[in-house]
Structure 1
Amino acid sequence: MASLETKAAERVVEACVRTESVRKCVFTSSLLACVWRQSYPQHRRFPTTVDENCWSDETFCRDNKLWFALGKTMAEKAAWRAARGRDLKLVTICPALVTGPGFRRRNSTPSIAYLKGAHAMVAEGLLATTDVEQVAEAHVRVYEAMNGTAGGRYICYDHIVRRAEEFVELELQLGLQARAPPPHDEQAATAIATPSFELCNRKLTRLVSSRRRCTHDAYLSVSYD
């Protein structure tokens, strides 16, 4: 599956390159292409930031059978390789688990695949969600800004799942049988309260905010005396 997704990404970028009218491409990846890494920091005073500069470790994904994350990581890397040195400006958006009214039930297969290893993500502060409308807006805003400063990768999320109760509710909304979180001692409970990682979407937040201001200014009503 990962190899198929990789080939598809390469072909999409190649098609964009060959189409004269297409000089910009917004590629949808996943937050899972950023969060899974081989070594986790221990006993750090402050959490390690996970942002658009981070990549999931492919070996770690294979060893832990995180196939959805592996596919997204390999596909995004393939897209960047295919666009390198070509007359095409590429940006990628890495959304968290996409939510929205009815969206998860209509798209339950990728949502379930996303949640592989979810308990570890919750414990580390890495399980996040984003509304489908916010993902759509992010694509539009980034595309509009590509003639200017927009470039590289953008992490997209609007909520981080921090409590076991939230995760159970998430599973129920997906139509899954809710699983109780694994038992943990007091030390583990503290680890959940103070996760090892901190997600950061500051780059996208700044871009979207600036584009909203520009749109507001452009359509500001003018009164005439």
Structure 2
Amino acid sequence: MGIVRTTQSRRFQLEEFCQSLQTTKLTSYNYNKREQHPTWREIHENFDHEKLVCVTSGVSYLGLAIVNRLLNRGYSVRIAVDNQEELEKLREMNFNRVSAVTAKMTDVNSLFEAFNGCRGVFHTSAFIDPAGVSGYTKYLGELEMKASENVMKACAMTDSVRKCVFTSSLLACIWRNDAPQDFPNVVDHNSWTEESICIDKKLWFALGKTMAEKAAWRIAEESDVRLVTICPGLITGPEFYRKSPTPSTAYMKGAQDMYRMGLLATVDVSRVAEAHICVYEAMNSTACGRYLCFDRVIEREVEVVDIATQMGLQTQRIASTALNELTPRIKLCNEKLSRLMSRQSRCY
């Protein structure tokens, strides 16, 4: 999947995934009183290929939430994993409507084989370097951009994939190099982060997400694949920091500036997963372009303390500088997604 993470973290996420499916009646395999378990080929051949989609990084914190919601909506899910150990573990479980394949984000042909036969792709992968100070380096941003290009090229190579939902980040929208008096009053789906300020401030996670999303749009414009991008804030939820520590830490680089300007926003993982499914199902009609996804803007000290406590950070890491009259206060606007999800009430 293109994710660089520790073996312990990898195994933890995989175990979480399998346990989740085991406790969900809808997604556990129905053996129909057969004496023997069905083979992997038998399960795959019984999929409804009209509702077969592929999820990259499907055993990550966000990927797991998306997979479960897809299954609950009646989809069959092919999970792209990056090593044989994960592949065999998933195959041992024999879950209904879930298959797994190995795919390298650096190899277009590998991705083509993973996507071929699917009707849509949910690209949620991120590159995480546990050795990095923030968990994310400039080099990983470049890798993520290349992976983004490969994913879109692989989608276009298939005869089946016509839709891709791409997980970007709110960080790809908020960083601007304007003087305070010139800063926009609203950040919405039309807003783009300026790469130069990310480089100046060493905001590598924001830079990587921005470059990756722009690369995806470039390839989409040259192909027949329809693309929509979701730009979530800091993804939270039950034990989010324990289950997804490095991307959470990387996201918070620059948190002081985000807080001062009113741009530090969070979103529950379930909301992000719902947004992905809603957008995907509306892509044949109204859904298009980019969607900002957040459910809370951090504006009060008590909220800062809450986030800092959950992440094991000192409050000063987020709100060490007092607000002043020269600090621009920006409104984050997610009305585009809110309107779509209110119409697509079946997604909740």
TM-score by length of 2: 0.57
Equivalent-residue separation in structure 1 for 2:270 and 2:326 (angstroms): 32
Aligned length: 207
Instruction: Say whether 1:182 aligns with 2:320.
Output: yes
Letter in 2 for 1:30: S
Residue matched to 2:164: 25
Q: Aligned equivalents of 1:101 and 1:138: distance in 2?
A: 18
Residues 158-180 of structure 1: CA distance to partner in whole angstroms, max 9, x if unpaired? Answer: 00000233223212101334436
1:183 and 1:127, CA in 2 relative to 1: closer, same or farther beyond 3 A? closer
- Quote the residue 1:204 is aligned against: 337
- Provide the alpha-carbon RMSD of the alignment: 1.9
Match of 2:230, as an amino acid? I
Q: Which residue of 1 aligns with 2:284?
A: 147
Instruction: Give, in angstroms, the shift of residue 36 of structure 1.
Output: 0.3
CA deviation after TM superposition for structure 1 residue 190, in Å:
5.5
- After superposition, the Cα gap between the structure-2 partners of 1:121 and 1:183, relative to the gap in structure 1 and judged at 3 Å, is closer
What's 2:151 paired with? 12
What SS does the corresponding residue of 2:242 show, helix, strand or coil? Answer: helix
Structure 1 pair 113–146 and aligned structure 2 pair: CA distance change class (3 A): same
Deviation, 1:148, is: 0.3
Residue 80 of structure 1 aligns to a residue whose secondary structure is helix
The one-letter amino acid of 1:111's match is S
Q: Which runs of 5+ in 2 are unaligned?
A: 1-139
Correspondence 1:72 to 2:209: yes
State whether residues 2 and 67 of structure 1, in contact with CA within 8 Å, keep that contact through their aligned partners in structure 2.
yes
Write the deviation string for residues 198-222 of structure 1: whole angstroms up to 9, x where unpaired. Answer: 000000000000011xx39xxxxxx
CA 1:5–1:211 in structure 2 vs 1: closer, same or farther (change >3 Å)?
same
d(CA) in 1 for partners of 2:185 and 2:240?
31
Structure 1: where are the runs of 5+ without partners? Answer: 217-225
Give the C-alpha shift of residue 55 in structure 1. Answer: 0.3
Q: Is the 8 A contact 2:180 2:326 kept in 1?
A: no
- 3-state SS of 2:212 partner: helix
CA distance in 2, matches of 1:147, 1:160: 31
What percent of counterpart residues are identical? 56
* TM superposition score normalised by structure 1: 0.86
Determine which structure has greater relative contact order: mean sequence separation of CA pairs < 8 Å that are 6+ residues apart, divided by chain length: 1
2:180 is paired with a residue of what secondary structure?
Answer: coil
Cα distance in 1 between the residues matched to 2:201 and 2:182: 23
Q: Which residue of 2 aligns with 1:95?
A: 232
Q: Equivalent residue for 1:220?
A: none
Q: In the alignment, which residue of structure 1 is the partner of 2:133?
A: none
Q: Which residue of 1 aligns with 2:269?
A: 132
Query: Aligned partner of 2:340: which letter?
Result: L
- Partner-residue secondary structure (3-state), 1:155: strand
Secondary structure of 1:53's partner?
coil
TM-fit CA distance, 1:189: 4.7
Q: Distance in 1 between matches of 2:290 and 2:321?
A: 37
Contact 1:41 1:196 in 2 (8 A): no
